[in-house]
Chain A
């Protein structure tokens, strides 16, 4: 499974929403379930799924699907 699909699974699992509500352009303010506690649960779930760790100050900035996937790719050492 590619990173994008895996990340979509984490999103829909964390927020309990169908996959089709998550696209590469999804932003935090567009998804009511993605509130501040939701952000923490999302970060926790991504860390476990991808075996990575976010820095505390990254967490405030990762407010879109696109920003998150770029950060994951960087951490996994892949070319975008």
Chain B
């Protein structure tokens, strides 16, 4: 459950009811127009609630204060509550004015929003919810309704609140790095029009003019998504030979065979193929989205794999591209930042599959030796905190305590004298995997407690975890630590880590608490 507080200068009661129905947040709604005192008064309900997220929705027309007052109030609050994320809705005026054509800048919406954007970009915990984007998409008249303003101080329409609550959820998901990792695609009538097995690679509907542009545009969007770090996989009932012909010979194809990291092209059940895809990538099925135009296939797959996301495919394919971005990308692949490593994701996973191939041929210890693994362990820089936070959020299998941290929290650890934090980068003869491990240790005199120890599943099973831990223990010993305490906290996914500390030579104190004396 997220703890979410909502502040506004108008009545937002209907939003509370929409969010309550979703039932995935603990909510605090301040009385309306109380935003200033809620932020400034340390005894206010907001301060006592200790939210993780504060959504501030200020209606521009009714806003009497100067925007700098809003900024000061937010800063005041943030100085006292460091880990909180503040999400500000941007300002929108009605798209009409009595001044008609006389003064285009009478209501300076753009000016206000520029200041808002500047404020967000200079404060790491402040983010923008772009309500103007939603207005452009759905239309001002659909999202606002004056009737309820005059009757009850409510600005948005029913649809306005529904759309707003969805967007708020997407923004919060992006802040928690909850983006899915893999997009699995059907081919016939999904990536191109028609059935290749019947019509041949030359005749599938895919072209730079006419209706075939739908699929060219769709492929472009998928390619863009891949470059944000999403892995692509194919799951199609076809003959692989027919499919390869389209990829190799059809000049209108945007996506190449190698853009897909796994290809399951056969006549088996799709649910089986999707499980295969998850296995070969060592990723959970709940981190994947499957797109298929065929409702029967979608039904079969979502019955067999309830945790997989299987969005409904539009009946009218002319809205395919709009649908894909609004209904698939924003809800399931939302991101605040794209790191350099995101763009390399597909390559990284490909190398992993290559390593697997060698592993199958060789004796295991020999295999590890031949990899020429080099670890680089260091204290992260302030700039590196985003990646560290992302790693704690995304690592499920080898995360000893299952703790997840946000970027501001990692920064606090860096500043804290009694907390040590290490990042671990991995390199081997196939290439650089980048940041793969994180260890956070809290010290109390000569005692140290391992708060978090985690390793990306990309490098699991190569004994990297033992080398990393050994390094950490050595440094602690040099710093005068005599006793190290460690914990295993069971989560639904971290079974592979269960015996780690006992294998690493720690004494088991009870089934989840471990200790080691350093001398």
Q: Which A residues lie at the B interface, using CB under 8 A?
A: 13-14, 16, 36-37, 40-41, 43-45, 47-48, 53-54, 56, 59
Q: Which residues of A contact B158 (CB under 8 A)?
A: 41, 44-45, 47-48
Main secondary structure of the interface of B (DSSP, over half): helix
Indicate whether A16 sits within 8 Å of B152 (C-beta atoms), given known contacts A37-B13, A41-B13: no
Expressed in whole angstroms, the minimum distance between the Cβ of A44 and any Cβ of chain B is 4
Q: Which residues of A contact B150 (CB under 8 A)?
A: 56
B148's nearest neighbour on chain A, judged by CB, is: A40
Q: Do A16 and B157 have beta carbons less than 8 Å apart?
A: no
A37's nearest neighbour on chain B, judged by CB, is: B13
Number of A-B contacts (CB under 8 A): 38
Q: Which B residues lie at the A interface, using CB under 8 A?
A: 11, 13-14, 17, 20-21, 145, 147-148, 150-152, 154, 157-159, 161
Expressed in whole angstroms, the minimum distance between the Cβ of B480 and any Cβ of chain A is 58
B159's nearest neighbour on chain A, judged by CB, is: A48
Q: Do B145 and A44 have beta carbons less than 8 Å apart?
A: yes
Expressed in whole angstroms, the minimum distance between the Cβ of B297 and any Cβ of chain A is 28
Q: Do A44 and B148 have beta carbons less than 8 Å apart?
A: yes
Question: Complex Cα distance A42/B14, Å?
Answer: 10
Question: Complex Cα distance A59/B17, Å?
Answer: 20
Question: Complex Cα distance A13/B158, Å?
Answer: 13
Most buried by B among A13, A44, A45: A44
Closest 5 CB pairs of A and B: A44-B158, A48-B158, A40-B152, A41-B14, A45-B158
Extra contacts besides A41-B17, A44-B148, A56-B147 (13): CB < 8 Å: A14-B17, A16-B21, A37-B11, A37-B152, A40-B148, A40-B151, A41-B14, A41-B158, A44-B145, A44-B154, A48-B159, A54-B147, A56-B151
Question: Complex Cα distance A53/B159, Å?
Answer: 13
Expressed in whole angstroms, the minimum distance between the Cβ of A54 and any Cβ of chain B is 8
Q: Which residues of B contact A36 (CB under 8 A)?
A: 152
A44's nearest neighbour on chain B, judged by CB, is: B158
